[in-house]
Chain A
Amino acid sequence: MRKLEEKIFKALMIGATTLIIAILLYIFYVILRKGLPSMNWDMVTRIPTGGFYLGKEGGILNAIAGSLMMIFGAVLISTFISLPVALFINFVLRKNSTFSNIARFGFDILFGIPSIVYGAFGFMVMILLGIQASLIGGMIAVALLIIPILVRSIDEVAAYVPRDMIEATLSLGATKYETLKVVYRQLMPGITTAILLAVGRGIGDAATVLFTAGYTDSIPTSLSQPAATLPLAIFFQLSSPIEEVQNRAYAAALILTVIILILSFLTRYFGNKLSKSKI
């Protein structure tokens, strides 16, 4: 009986894992099959020309550049906010303090809020401030989206920083701030992973940037100009009735996937390097 139980659960686990891998492979397959034929050098080096959305020539450099600028700005803004928050609730406040528990609960709620809500919220704030859809608007909205992810993931790794190490530093007469500078080194690999997660989520999100960043065929040259993004490029092209344009959406998806892959390899590589050289 117990053997049978073991077999059933093992089969279930294997089944679930295989299913996930199969879905992932299928997604890759679709993107590659539909996207590769439309992939060409023009796609990544040119901005759309007049009739691009009707199947004429051009590329989506505007969206690639827009997405990269957007995520760079958003990660910069959100890291500057999330890191102090995570360090504060973990190391400055006393253990299990009411405030840090409330903060954690708050971030859990924020974590679960759909991205369209952040988009709408960002849009509303922009109207209040009289800002038009722009690169900076998109950056802020995406930053709002990924702050909870960053805070909670840094929070998770912060829990593993040995209390002994903090006390060792305190015992040498360090202030809490000076202690944080040591803790930060220990946290470096964890922070890298957190940023990676956030980049993946932020760069692929269409709903937040729909209202806040707008869409344009040119590459933004200042923060106040609207910016195109890859998820929206996919969205707009996919809703076209022309098949060639639809296929270009898959090519854009392929580009987005490759960008995320490259970013994750880079982050992982530098994360490892950082932690090895300092720990």
Chain B
Amino acid sequence: MMTYIDIAPMEIAHKKEKTDVIRRQLPLLTVKDLNVHIQEKHILKNINLAIPDKSITCIIGPSGCGKTTLLRSFNRLHDDFKEIKVSGSVLIDGEDIYGKKVEVTHIRKKMGLLAQRPTVLPMSIFDNVAYGPRLYGTRNKRQLYEIVKHQLESVGLWDEVRDRLKSPAIKLSIGQQQRLCLARGLAVEPEIILGDEATSSLDPISSGKIEELFLNLRERYSIVLVTHTLRQAKRIADYVAFMYLGELIEFGSAHEVFNHPKNKLTKEYLEGSFS
């Protein structure tokens, strides 16, 4: 395993692994009859999907097939666009996030989003990570420091920035910024990490680091990634969802989908007949 994560004593890790095998079967996020329209266009058509807990699910498919739209609907980021209509339900821990009584901030706290390009906030490195905990009322300096340190360590950034926590986050390299964004997301203790082509603007080394982080983090989080690169999906996915023209064509374990695709379209896509 990588050194990025603070690995608990072996014994506990071992026990955890066992329970994880069982927990992996349980869906954490369930999508039921999800339809999204943007003005007159039907972007997502009747999506039904159960995303398993503590694993990496990659959403693949050609450009414009609705991958990003699907990911964003998990976080209710469509709320701010009046031309986008969402119907159906998305359940997290059995709670419909589109339910009437649901607080949108409560939903979003459960999910960390990693965007295509790193989106550091205009403040210091420390404040970026501390932003979330501060929102939820952590004011104690010692406590904040511990959280920041812990999360920066878990993304392997601590040693690189420990001496300049006060300097503006924008001065970090792009790869470091993306890891900072991940640390910032983890600091609010989400259950799910959403990544929207989170490595596409990074150089190969930085994106490799992010991939390793994802592999480590799946022990504790459910990770849903939209990816353009099939190779990335093959490297890290436990489960794969293939989408085409707004429909979910196939969903299954990475092994099944990549080696024995059931659908003709999936097969053609994987063979590179279209992209």
Contact = CB atoms under 8 A, between A and B. Distances in A.
A12 interface: no
Nearest to A188: B122
Given A164-B115, A178-B135, A171 B122 contact: no
How big is the B interface, by class? 20 to 34
A10 interface: no
B80 A173 contact: no
A278 B123 contact: yes
A167 B80 CA distance: 10
Nearest to A275: B122
Interface in A86-108: 94-97
Interface string A259-279: 000000000000000000011
Interface string A141-183: 0000000000000000000001011011111111100100010
A173 B106 contact: yes
A169 B168 CA distance: 17
B203 to A, nearest CB: 20
A46 interface: no
A167 B112 CA distance: 11
A7 to B, nearest CB: 43
Nearest to A161: B122
Contacts of B111: 171
Contact of A172 (B81, B116, B184): B184
B109 interface: yes
A185 B170 CA distance: 13
A165 B112 CA distance: 14
Nearest to B170: A279
B108 A171 contact: yes
Given A168-B115, A173-B105, A173-B136, A279 B122 contact: yes
B105 A168 contact: no
How big is the A interface, by class? 20 to 34
Given A94-B81, A164-B115, A168-B113, A182 B108 contact: no
B188 A173 contact: yes
A41 B111 CA distance: 66
Contact of B121 (A94, A165, A173): A165
A279 B168 CA distance: 6
Given A171-B185, A173-B132, A173-B136, A165 B119 contact: yes
A278 B122 contact: yes
A94 B81 CA distance: 6
Contact of B135 (A167, A174, A185): A174
A94 B80 contact: yes
A60 B107 CA distance: 63
Contacts of B112: 171-172
B121 A164 contact: no
B198 interface: no
Given A162-B119, A172-B135, 19 more contacts: A95-B81, A95-B82, A167-B77, A167-B119, A168-B115, A168-B119, A171-B113, A171-B185, A172-B184, A172-B188, A173-B106, A173-B109, A174-B105, A178-B135, A182-B131, A185-B123, A278-B122, A279-B122, A279-B168
